[in-house]
Amino acid sequence: MPDPSSNNLDEELNTAKQVQPENAGALTRAQLTPDAAAAPQGHDVPGHDHAPAEAPHDHAGHQHDPGELSLGDAEDDDHAGHDHDGHDHGPAGDNPYLVPGISFALLLAGIALDYYKVGFFAGYVRLVWYGLAFVLVGWKVVKAAVLSIPSGNIFNEFLLMSLATLGAFAIGEYPEGVAVMLFYTVGELFQDAAVNRAKRSIKALLEIQATEVTVVRGGQSLVLDPKAVQVGDVMEVKPGEKVALDGTLNGKEASFNTAALTGESAPQTKQPGEAVLAGMINLESLIQVTVTAAFKDTKLSKILAMVQDAVGRKAKTQQFITKFAKIYTPIVVGLAVLLIVVPYFVVSDYVFRDWLYRALVFLVISCPCALVISIPLGYFGGIGAASKAGILFKGSNFLDVLREIDTVVMDKTGTLTQGVFAVQQVQPAAGTTPEQLLRLVGALETKSTHPIAKAVVAHVGAAAAGVPVDNVEEIAGHGLRGKVDGHDILAGNTKLLTKFSVAYPPEVDQVVDSIVVAAVDGKYAGYLTVADAPKEDAARAVQELKADGISKLVMLSGDKDSIVQRVAKELGITEAHGGLLPEDKAKYVQQYLSEGRKLAFVGDGVNDAPVVALADVGIAMGGLGSDATIETADVVIQTDHPSKIATARRIARATHSVVWQNIWLAFIVKGIVLALGAGGVATMWEAVFADVGVALLAILNAVRIQRMDFTSKAAPAKT
């Protein structure tokens, strides 16, 4: 719904397209191909010196979904010249509930004074009392109705709300006028509380970039801002430091944590001359990297640009009541006028006051309070039920969109798999027992901080405790060499055995998972496989989504394609692609969207943030997921269970059903009472029932969602 306090009310009332200020000028989804997203969009998004929401922007074109009411929005987009963090929310300051709370207190007190017929509470005292309660919550709506008249946008919900509530005051039903406007305002504030997280800036994502870099110039080491570094400069990167810019590795091989780009926890070993990307973390010794791309052109900068551009690509569903009011309001107002005028010509004993009273009752009955409150409350119920199930919806519109999706694209690591390495298989050579292999390899691996080494140590446990380990040498990109319990032990990849001329069976090279190959005293002793195991409910999640009508299930991952295909086959996913960078994932998602599919993307890593934002519905795993992806996502699975995706769809369908039950209830009851009111049969009591009574029934119906059982009715997945 348009914000009645907006400085651009005319544009808000006329547009159905949401344009978030921080994304003004961003690319359209059709343009947001990986190449297009990587190109500068008139400003260096990743290199700018302010958070997205801090710049002064116009509030033009803002539009809300069926539950996203923006009256008194606590975290609304900035008006021109206002800082987001310091945005003035009116008299309530940073507490948007204060003013409605005061109005509510005045209303309750007034009703109590009326009920007990307190002597002083009459005449002007009663009018001023309720008038103050009304002004606190209604002045913005009345102001919006007045300001919309010069632009020609006369018949909108602001006008109808104003006429109906002021009409209630005109016939002395002050509590009704206050209550209607209070419902309207509080409904907006409750919904804002559910969606304000979706409007936060992505400052956390920007923190991934290095803020300084050491550059060697003229034999001296200089610490510079990454934006000041030129292509061709040589960077020095210490162990544990982030690589600030894309480049090529000099001198010797090195291992890197690449999770910021690929989402995979397995380190990558780079050889001299190979590409090293910004965002990678150097794991070992001091290295030098020749810069090949300016700061704004790095892969990581492109990821950030894609997120900032894509996050505004979700066109919101225009609020139902706004569409309806364009037809409903002029009809109702016209009928009310006719109800006053026409009887003058056809009724012999015409009394103006009597027919004015009927018209005002007619307007009170026609007030869309039941609609205004039944729609968001239905969605509140859905959001609440989802929260109980460990699912966070950042806006009611995503309940609608999730119900309509036909394609689910998922990341692998951390989404369908546990995101933690574990030993999967122990395969000793002839003459060596599994216990011996694990004891020797586990003892040696205690001297390494490599994630695979940690997985081996965790698996071996106490069996390696107290085993003497000496002369350990870590050979970068290969593994470990040392003396364990008097034996010369090698533990690492097959390149390590080849380096020391240790023969091993050729079938070892065919192993798909990450592998730790061992040699004892110069002889092959066996191997351990280390892999990221699927989550317990991953196969069930796939089964439930298929049973729920999802026609296309896809897995996209930065992991090796052979591993990705194995996991996909194990889980029952027919289409999977591995070895992907973020722009590759975006390319696939863009392809599916261009085919007209309604798509949800499920991910957890920083590398997933661009495609999470690009999808119709972005879903993040909240337990293991990165802050950036959780901020960007529309739905957060707080329990990290992929089976919750199907649960979320069941909640979305139930919510849709309840919302439309409430809408039809309001239509039917109001239609009947409107007819009775026009005939002079219905009094203000019937008007109150048609408005507040139906609203209360709608509330009770919405509460049902909280009590529904959304557990899966599908058969459990076979293991």
Q: Which of 259, 252, 250, 164 is nearest to 208 (CA)?
A: 259
CB 379 within 8 A of CB 655: yes
Active-site amino acid positions: 411
Tokens encoding 399: 């309940």
Q: Which long-range contacts (CB under 8 A, 24 or more apart) does 144-151 make?
A: 144/2, 144/4, 144/5, 144/9, 145/4, 147/9, 148/9, 148/10, 148/13, 151/9, 151/10, 151/13
End-to-end CA distance of the chain: 48
**Strands 268-270 and 254-257, bridge-based pairing:** antiparallel
Pairwise CA distance, residues 384 & 382, whole Å: 5
Pairwise CA distance, residues 445 & 454, whole Å: 7
Angle at 637 between CA 633 and CA 642, to 5 degrees: 115
Tokens encoding 317: 């569903």
In the numeric block, the tokens 């015409």 are attached to 350
Q: Which of 255, 541, 516, 514 is nearest to 417 (CA)?
A: 541
Pairwise CA distance, residues 79 & 104, whole Å: 28
Report phi then psi at 29, rounded to 5.
-60, -40
Strands annotated E in 450-559: 469-475, 479-484, 487-492, 514-520, 523-534, 552-556
Residue 713 CB neighbour total at 10 angstroms: 9
Q: What order of strands is seen across the sheet that includes strand 287-291? A: 220-224, 213-217, 234-237, 287-291, 247-250, 275-276
CB 573 within 8 A of CB 555: yes
The 3-state DSSP class for residue 470 equals strand
Phi-psi category of 74—alpha, beta or left, where left has phi over 0 and alpha has psi -120 to 50? alpha
Taking the CA atoms of 397, 400, 403 and 408 in sequence, report the sign of the dihedral they define. negative
Q: Return the HEC string of 312-373.
A: CCCCCCCCHHHHHHHHHHHHHHHHHHHHHHHHHHHCCCCCHHHHHHHHHHHHHHHCCHHHHH
Kind and range of the H or E run holding 306: helix 299-310
Residue 251 CB neighbour total at 10 angstroms: 11
Tokens encoding 599: 């798509």
Q: Buried (b) or exposed (e) across 57-76, using 16+ Cβ within 10 A?
A: bbbbbbbbbbbbbbbbbbbb
Pairwise CA distance, residues 261 & 258, whole Å: 6
Type of residue at 137: V
